[in-house]
Structure 1
Amino acid sequence: MKRILLIKPCCIGDVIFATPLLAALRRAYPNAHITWAVNTSIAPVLYEHPHLNAVLELGETANPAAPCRLLGFVRQIGRLGADAVFVPDRSRWYSLATRLARIPMRVGLNSGGRGFAYTHKAAVQPEAIRHEAEVYLDLARLLGIPTDGLWAFAPLSVQAAVQAERFLHEAHLAHGGYLVIHPGGGVNVGMRLIEKRWPAENFAALAERLAERLKAQIAVIGAASDREAVARFKAALKQPCLDWSERFSLAEIAALAVRAALYIGNDNGVGHLAAAAGAKVLMIFGPTDPRRYAPFVPPERARYAWRPIALPKGGVSGGAPRHFDWARDGVSVEEAFAIACALC
C-alpha cells in the first residue's frame, strides 16, 4: 500500500480509540502516505501525530447522510488517490462513499449490514463486550497485520506545551501541584448523554480529600455545555479553586493534565485525550461500560471507578439504562478516593 486513508471523523474519544489502528498500519507500512479524515473541530488532536502524513478536515461533509454532503465527501476523499481505506466506524454512509470514490481496497466495520460496500468486512457483534479500540483493531487483523503492544496515543502539541509551561510559571504552579477536575462531558455532535456525569458534589468531595492528601490545588475545567456542572462543583467546594473552564484549547488542556498530579473526570473525550497524551487519569463510569470505553492506555497511567450494573446491549448506542441513579448504582466518593490514591 502506498496511499492509505483512515476515516474516523468523530468524536474525541472514538478518534483516540482509533490511534492504535493507525499505529498498526504505520508499523506494517512504514513508507506509506497515511491521511486521516476527521471533523475540523477534532483535527488539532491529530496535527502532530508522528504516524500521520496528512489530516483531511471534513467540515460539513463529516456527516454525509444528506445527498449533497455525501457527494462532497466522495469528492474530498476521491481526490486523495488512496489505494486503501480503513473505516473504524459503523456508518453505512462512509461505506457507500468509499465505493463511490472508487478506492480499490475498502476495509471497514460491518455492524447490522452497514458495511455492505467494503471489500474487507470486520463483523461486529453488538452484544459482545469488547473494548472499542480492539473492535477497531480488527480491521488490521483482517489483513494479518499484527496488533500486539499497541495503546492509544495523542502527541502533545509543542506550542501547547510551551504555553502550558508559561501559564504554570506565571501562576506559580509546580508540576504535580494541582488536580484537574472535569465534572462535565457527555455532550458532543453525535450524542447527548449527560447521565454519564457523576454528581458535581461528589467531584467536590473527592477533590478536597485528594487536595489535602497531595497538598495540591484544585483546578476545574469545562466547556460551555458544562457550565451548570462547573457551577455546582464550585458551589460544593469548601475551599477556593482555580477556574480554568472555557479558557484553554484541547491541546492546552492535555498539556496541563500531563503536568497535573491527577486528572479526574467522567467518561468523555477530554479524559481519553488526557490519558493518551500521558496524564494520570481517573475516569468515573456509571451508565456506560468501562470494559468497552475505559482509557486504552497502560493500567499504571489510568484507572476507572465503576460499580458493575446491567447496561443496554450494544454500548452507548443503546443510551443510558432506565432508572439509573448515581446514589444507588454509582461509585461512592470513598471508592473513587481509594482508586485515586493507588494512582498517585
Structure 2
Amino acid sequence: MTERILILRAGAIGDVVLSYPVLFALRARRPDAFLCLAGRTEARLLALAGGLADAERDIADAFFAPLFAPAERAPCRELAEFVGGFDRVVSLLGDPGGAIARALKAHGARDLVSFEGVRPGAHVARQLFAVLAPWGITGFPEGQAMIARALPCPEDAPAGCAVVHPGSGSAAKNWPAERFRALIECALVAGFAVRVPCGEADAEAVAAATDGTAAEVVRLPLVALAGLFMRAALYVGNDSGITHVAGAVGAPTVAVFGPSDPALWRPLGPRTCALRGRGGRFPGLDRVLAAAGLGPGGKGL
C-alpha cells in the first residue's frame, strides 16, 4: 500500500522553500510515497509543479483552523478524517509549546514529527530537516537543486538571460537601488538580456532600480518565474523568497545580505553565493559585480 505523508509549513515564499529539502529527502527515501504539502503562498504550487509534492492544500484555509484553536475544543470531524488518512505527519509550523503537535494527535496524527521553532546557530533549512532524524533520515541534500523538473516559462524568455530582483518582503533588506541600477547596466553592456521580476510589494524598488535602463520588467506567477530562472545564466537579488526560489531550481544565484544573517537564511542550491558587508552592512557594488562575473576578468559563479 502507498505510504501517505502530510507536511505542514506556514510562512512566506522563502519559509516554504526552505522546507523543500524535507520534501526532497522524503521523495528520495520513499519514491512511491504520496506527499501532500499544506503550505502558504505560491511556493506550495511550485512544490507540486516541481514534483516535490503530489498534492497541496492552503494551510491558511479555515479547514485547518482547529489546529490553532484552544485545546479544550473538541476535534473537528472533517479535519480528523483528513489528518487520520496519512501514515505519517511532518509539522514544520514552529511549535515551541507543543500545542499544534497535541492538536494534530487529537485529530488522528499517528507517526508525527514536529518542529519547535527557529534557534540561533544552524541554517534554518537544516533545523527544519532535523525533525526527520527519528525516521532515520539524516543526509541533508547540500548543494543540490531541489527542483530539476523542467517548468513552463514565457515563450519569449531568452536562454542565458540575467535576472535581477531588487525587491524583498522588507525595504530594510533591499540593496540600494542605485547599485542595482549600476549592476543592470553592467549586465546589459556584457550582452545579457535582463529581466526584472515585479511582485505586488516590489513596484517601488523595481521602478527605482530599472529607471533609465533597457531592462524588461516581468510579472509572472511563481511557477513561470521559476521556469525563467532555469533558463537564466545569472540571478542577483536580496534576501527574499524569490532568491530562495532561484537557488532551489539551480540558477547561478548571488544573494545580497545586509541586516539579515546569511548563516541562517542564505539561499540553498548548487551554485549560490551569499554576500554581506561588515557589521551587518550591505556589500559594495564591486564585490557583487565580481561574484556575478560582471567585474574585471568576468569570472564569478
Alignment TM-score, normalising by the size of structure 2: 0.84
Distance 2:207 2:74 in 1: 44
1:85 and 2:55 are equivalent in the alignment = no
Pairing 1:19-98 to 2, within 5 Å after superposition: 19-39=20-40, 41-61=42-62, 65=68, 75-76=78-79, 78-80=81-83, 81-91=85-95, 94-98=100-104
Q: Of 154, 160, 165, which aligns to 2:147?
A: 154
| Contact map agreement 2:18 2:124 (CA 8 A) in 1 | yes
For 2:24, give the aligned amino acid. Answer: A
Distance 1:13 1:330 in 2: 20
SS, match of residue 37 in structure 1: strand
SS, match of residue 7 in structure 1: strand
Gaps of 5+ in 2: 294-298
Query: Deviations 1:138-196 (Å, cap 9, x if unpaired)?
Result: 112233223144545135564x24xx2x223xxxxx411x321111111xxxxxx3211
User: 2:257 matched to which residue of 1?
Assistant: 285
Alignment TM-score, normalising by the size of structure 1: 0.74
SS, match of residue 232 in structure 1: helix
Change in CA separation of 1:72 and 1:309 when aligned onto 2, cut-off 3 Å: farther
Query: Deviations 1:39-82 (Å, cap 9, x if unpaired)?
Result: 26433212233343322233434675456xx9898844641411
| Contact map agreement 1:185 1:266 (CA 8 A) in 2 | yes
| Contact map agreement 1:180 1:257 (CA 8 A) in 2 | yes
Pairing 1:254-273 to 2, within 5 Å after superposition: 254-273=226-245
| Contact map agreement 2:23 2:52 (CA 8 A) in 1 | yes
Distance 2:99 2:39 in 1: 15
* Cα RMSD, aligned residues only: 2.8
Change in CA separation of 1:156 and 1:222 when aligned onto 2, cut-off 3 Å: farther
Change in CA separation of 1:41 and 1:215 when aligned onto 2, cut-off 3 Å: closer
1:343 and 2:300 are equivalent in the alignment = yes
For 1:331, give the aligned amino acid. Answer: P
Q: Of 257, 267, 284, which aligns to 1:332?
A: 284
Gaps of 5+ in 1: 112-123, 169-173, 187-192, 311-328
User: 1:250 matched to which residue of 2?
Assistant: 222
SS, match of residue 141 in structure 1: helix
Distance 1:267 1:257 in 2: 16
SS, match of residue 47 in structure 1: helix
Query: Deviations 1:276-325 (Å, cap 9, x if unpaired)?
Result: 11211111111111111111112xx2111112436xxxxxxxxxxxxxxx
Distance 1:73 1:338 in 2: 56
User: 1:315 matched to which residue of 2?
Assistant: none
The total of aligned residue pairs comes to 288
SS, match of residue 279 in structure 2: coil
Q: Of 200, 203, 214, which aligns to 1:227?
A: 203
Distance 1:11 1:72 in 2: 27
Q: CA deviation at 1:203?
A: 0.5
Q: Of 279, 284, 298, which aligns to 1:309?
A: 279
Distance 1:207 1:134 in 2: 33
Aligned sequence identity (%):
28
1:240 and 2:240 are equivalent in the alignment = no
For 2:252, give the aligned amino acid. Answer: K
Change in CA separation of 1:78 and 1:292 when aligned onto 2, cut-off 3 Å: farther
User: 1:116 matched to which residue of 2?
Assistant: none
Change in CA separation of 1:222 and 1:35 when aligned onto 2, cut-off 3 Å: same
Q: CA deviation at 1:25?
A: 2.0
Distance 2:79 2:250 in 1: 33
Change in CA separation of 1:30 and 1:200 when aligned onto 2, cut-off 3 Å: same
Distance 1:31 1:107 in 2: 20
Q: CA deviation at 1:264?
A: 1.1
Distance 2:13 2:80 in 1: 21
Distance 2:130 2:81 in 1: 25
1:180 and 2:158 are equivalent in the alignment = no
Distance 2:279 2:265 in 1: 15
Query: Deviations 1:315-338 (Å, cap 9, x if unpaired)?
Result: xxxxxxxxxxxxxx2211111111
SS, match of residue 224 in structure 1: coil
1:218 and 2:203 are equivalent in the alignment = no
Change in CA separation of 1:50 and 1:264 when aligned onto 2, cut-off 3 Å: same
Change in CA separation of 1:51 and 1:251 when aligned onto 2, cut-off 3 Å: closer
Distance 1:4 1:204 in 2: 45
Change in CA separation of 1:73 and 1:220 when aligned onto 2, cut-off 3 Å: farther
Query: Deviations 1:233-287 (Å, cap 9, x if unpaired)?
Result: 123x4x322122xx21111111112222211111111111122112111111111
SS, match of residue 43 in structure 1: helix
Change in CA separation of 1:73 and 1:48 when aligned onto 2, cut-off 3 Å: farther
Change in CA separation of 1:74 and 1:96 when aligned onto 2, cut-off 3 Å: farther
